[in-house]
Amino acid sequence: GPSMKCAEQDLLLYAVTDRHWLNGRSLRDVVEESLRGGVTMLQLREKSLAEPAFLAEARELQALCRDYHVPFIVNDNVDIALAMDADGHVGQSDMEALDVRRKLGPDKIIGVSAQTVEQALLAEKHGADYLGVGAVFPTGSKDDADDVSYDTLQAICRAVSIPVVAIGGVTAQNLPPLAGTGI
């Protein structure tokens, strides 16, 4: 069955960082506010920070997450996830799961982005612990995000036995329509 290293309750309110919503505040402050507000898992997503700055920021946020007993996941940089002993990593392709698993070992949480049932099944087969499926709603934070339909989301949830997280433009207001999909 699914491993307990990534329990479904850890995925209930999964926050992904994004600098362009900070409005002059520090990422650390916004993350701490999110953790106080009930975030159950945190992914550090930085597309344009130089490695030393990324690592310093990652360590600071990891320490915060530990205080709140919330898993800390690094997006798209396996070497940093490994160097700092992050709780896990999220990759953008199903083949990544195999390589990441080899590097990070059996105890780490590995998430993979999927937009089709085929991608989802491959990611599961290659050792992903959960899937991020989206964008389920239009989003301003990812230029390359293609929308995933309600039917596809539902089909992916039915096809795999690992947890599925809906990503992209999710708000308190538009969450109700996703009920019943299996996310």
149 is known as an active-site residue: no
**170 and 182 in contact (C-beta within 8 Å)?**
no
The residue from 5, 113, 141, 158 that is catalytic is 113
Instruction: Output DSSP code: residue 161.
Output: S
CA distances, 140 to each of 22, 136, 153 (Å): 14, 12, 20
The residue from 5, 59, 101, 142 that is catalytic is 142
Instruction: Output DSSP code: residue 15.
Output: E
**153 and 183 in contact (C-beta within 8 Å)?**
yes
108 is known as an active-site residue: no
Backbone angles phi and psi of 175, in degrees to 5:
-65, -40
Token pair in block for residue 82: 């490994």
The neighbour count for residue 169, using CB atoms within 10 Å, is: 17
The residue from 45, 48, 101, 161 that is catalytic is 45
Token pair in block for residue 19: 């600098």
134 three-state secondary structure: strand
Token pair in block for residue 119: 């991608």
45 is known as an active-site residue: yes
- Catalytically active residues are 45, 113, 142
